Amino acid sequence: MRRLLLLLIMLVSGLVVQAQGIFGGKVTGNFQWDIQASREDSTIGAEKVDEKLLNNAFANINYVNGDFSAGMRFEAYLNPILGFDSQYKGAGIPYRFASYKKDYLEITVGNYYEQFGNGLVFRAYEERNLGLDNAMDGLRVVARPLDGISIKGIIGKQRYYWEDIWDSDNGLVRGLDAEVSLNDLVESWKNSSTRMTIGGSFVSVYEQAKPKYVNIGGSDYRMSIPENVGAAAFRFDFSHKSFFLSAEYAQKGQDPNAVNGFIYRKGNALLLKTSYFIKGLAIALEAKRIDNMSFKSKRDETGNMLNVNYLPAITRQHSYSLMAMYPYATQLNGEMGIQADVMYKFKKNTMLGGKYGTEVKFNYSRVHSIDKQPLEGYALNQAGTEGYTSDFFKVGDELYFEEVNFEINKKLTNKFKLNLMYSYQSFNPVAFGHPEQQNIYANIFVADGLYKFNRKHSLRTELQWLLTEQNYGEWAKGDWLQATLEYNFAGKWFFALSDQWNYGNENGDRTHYYNVSLGSTYNTTRISISYGKQRDGIICIGGVCREVPASNGLFMTITSSF
């Protein structure tokens, strides 16, 4: 019956689609379908997949007619591909909304995504390929009473897999955000070379308290759990010509929860960014300090779901696979770090620039623990207490992550481009909840060459080399080498061969992760099929990561937009 209902909904939406010409509205959307078949392979630790075939699929359909829009997303995980939480198993429409927007007012009912400032106190977003979705379900109002002033109000609950959230006891999220862009507000400042935006937000989560007991010094105590947890943030962005400065500071009230070990300490976060940029040169600096800022709408939840806020990682996000082998993720319970970037372009027709110019990039990041001192008479982070004290400016002893990398992009001839990159990384497995593992110190080299035969045909070759004396888990031991060949026929198809070889592993010759892939693109539709082995590893997007188990087999992806 439910399936029939679903089909009928789809039929009606199809009719709407057909009728778009008559009603004048437009329909847009996109879909993706991933199919995976993996078999058992003890050489890489790939486990048997009982279902033989795994599927993830989703389709978004949006309807827009003037100031009105509505949309929905159908999702099916039958059964979820490897690395996705098994709680995703199932199919349905977890996301649907209707929205009305006039210049000064926008009202959305149903599901929505939203972000206040940098997201330190509130961000509802999705990373479909990570299986991360904390869409809100409820109501959102955005008002722009004057040019330069925007006020947002939100209320609702967050998505939790397929759970009927209105039937669950997950917390209710309420929030308010106001932002003033002085240059848009004051007519005479509109074209000023000095720009200033200020903003502030407040978010509160209400979750019914359940009895919770803690053992302190041998006796059990019943905790007094705050049912309303509030967080506030203040921010500004300032720019003058080629100089930019921004800051956001957030504070969170008492929130004993499973992530922080049920301590009463208040949380705070500070994010500072500054940059200077002129034609051909840019320097950017960032600093961040986080203290006990995990903020979820369910206090017993750990993991990636039900996050109310977002704490960006300030390390470089890599796209080369060996560079991204040991990625960093934000430590919600406390970290402090800095990041620096310098980018420079040597002009055309200079000694270092050559005929086409040369781009060089430098990046450095370092993240430490924060200082944490136990309270007198208690163990560090004792549940049911304030947990610890912390000196705001003192750098903690533990180094979580450090990286220095250089990159050179150079077009050598009309047909050949070369990209060289080097990175040194120091990775602390504490960041992934594996304190039993050794720290990794790795030197990584990448050479990426692109040769264009003619307007349509090109060949890309990629060599990556990772050197380390340490092992991570059972399946990443010592040194790695990777080679990739990719042939592209622009606008039509591509073919790629690659091998990732963990030659530092004592299993030596057996740990080749070869992969063959073939794909075709036609305007907005892309089909790719790959066959081979995938190492057990971590996929990260935006500093949020997911562990992906090893697999050996076929993977097919179809994406399309319309």
Partner 1 sequence: MKRLILIVTVLLWFGGVFGQQVLPNVSLKTVDGKAINANEFNNDGKPFAICFWATWCKPCLMELSAIAENYEQWQEDTGIKIYAVSIDDSRTQSKVQPLVSSSDWGFEVILDVNSELKRALGVNNPPHTFVVNAKGEIVWQHVGYAPGDEENLIEKLIEVSGE
- What is the closest distance, in whole angstroms, from the C-beta atom of residue 284 to partner 1 in the complex? 5
Alpha-carbon span 354 to 349, nearest angstrom: 5
- In the list 279, 397, 436, 509, the residue contacting partner 1 (rule: CB under 8 A) is 279
CA angle 159, 164, 170 (to 5 degrees): 60
- What is the closest distance, in whole angstroms, from the C-beta atom of residue 524 to partner 1 in the complex? 5
- Is residue 413 near partner 1 by the rule CB under 8 A? no
- Is residue 200 near partner 1 by the rule CB under 8 A? no
Segment interacting with partner 1 (CB under 8 A) among 180-188, 226-234, 473-481, 531-539: 180-188
- What is the closest distance, in whole angstroms, from the C-beta atom of residue 517 to partner 1 in the complex? 13
By the 8 A CB rule, do 90 and 55 touch?
no
For residue 410, give every residue at least 6 positions away whose Cβ sits within 8 Å of its Cβ, in sequence order, or none. Answer: 354, 356, 358, 359, 417, 418, 419, 420
- In the list 164, 219, 319, 435, the residue contacting partner 1 (rule: CB under 8 A) is 319
Instruction: Compare residues 93 and 214 and give the one whose CB is closer to partner 1.
Output: 93
What is the Rg, in whole angstroms, of the alpha carbon atoms belonging to the chain?
26
- What is the closest distance, in whole angstroms, from the C-beta atom of residue 45 to partner 1 in the complex? 28
Q: Which residues pair with 481 in a beta bridge?
A: 465, 501
Report the amino acid identity of residue 498: S
- Is residue 500 near partner 1 by the rule CB under 8 A? no
- Is residue 2 near partner 1 by the rule CB under 8 A? no
What b/e readout covers 535-557, taking b as 16+ CB neighbours within 10 angstroms? bbbbbbebbbbbebbbbbbebbb
- What is the closest distance, in whole angstroms, from the C-beta atom of residue 465 to partner 1 in the complex? 18
Instruction: Compare residues 375 and 548 and give the one whose CB is closer to partner 1.
Output: 548
Question: Binders of partner 1 among 534-553, rule CB under 8 A?
Answer: 542-543
Instruction: Compare residues 11 and 380 and give the one whose CB is closer to partner 1.
Output: 11
- Is residue 510 near partner 1 by the rule CB under 8 A? no
- In the list 111, 158, 204, 246, the residue contacting partner 1 (rule: CB under 8 A) is 246
- Is residue 512 near partner 1 by the rule CB under 8 A? no
- Is residue 140 near partner 1 by the rule CB under 8 A? no
- What is the closest distance, in whole angstroms, from the C-beta atom of residue 101 to partner 1 in the complex? 5
The token pair at 110 is 């149903």
Helix extents (H) in 109-205? 182-185
Instruction: Compare residues 184 and 386 and give the one whose CB is closer to partner 1.
Output: 184
- In the list 134, 150, 500, 534, the residue contacting partner 1 (rule: CB under 8 A) is 150
Site string for partner 1, 54-93 (x = CB under 8 A): ------x-x-x--x-x------------------------
- For residue 89, the tally of other CB atoms under 10 A from its CB is 14
Q: Which of 138, 168, 179, 298 is nearest to 229 (CA)?
A: 298
Instruction: Compare residues 166 and 522 and give the one whose CB is closer to partner 1.
Output: 522
- For residue 77, the tally of other CB atoms under 10 A from its CB is 24
By the 8 A CB rule, do 316 and 343 touch?
no
Instruction: Compare residues 188 and 523 and give the one whose CB is closer to partner 1.
Output: 523
* Sign, CA torsion 79/81/86/89: negative
- In the list 247, 282, 467, 518, the residue contacting partner 1 (rule: CB under 8 A) is 282
Question: Binders of partner 1 among 339-378, rule CB under 8 A?
Answer: 341, 343-345, 356, 359
Look at residue 9 and give its three-state secondary structure: helix
- 213-219 long-range contacts, CB within 8 A, separation 24+: 214/262, 214/383, 214/384, 216/378, 216/382, 216/383, 216/384, 216/385
The token pair at 453 is 């035969």
Residue with tokens 């705070």: 268
Instruction: Compare residues 104 and 213 and give the one whose CB is closer to partner 1.
Output: 104
Q: Which residues pair with 203 in a beta bridge?
A: 175, 231
Instruction: Compare residues 67 and 391 and give the one whose CB is closer to partner 1.
Output: 67
Segment interacting with partner 1 (CB under 8 A) among 29-37, 262-270, 495-503, 505-513: 29-37
- Is residue 286 near partner 1 by the rule CB under 8 A? yes
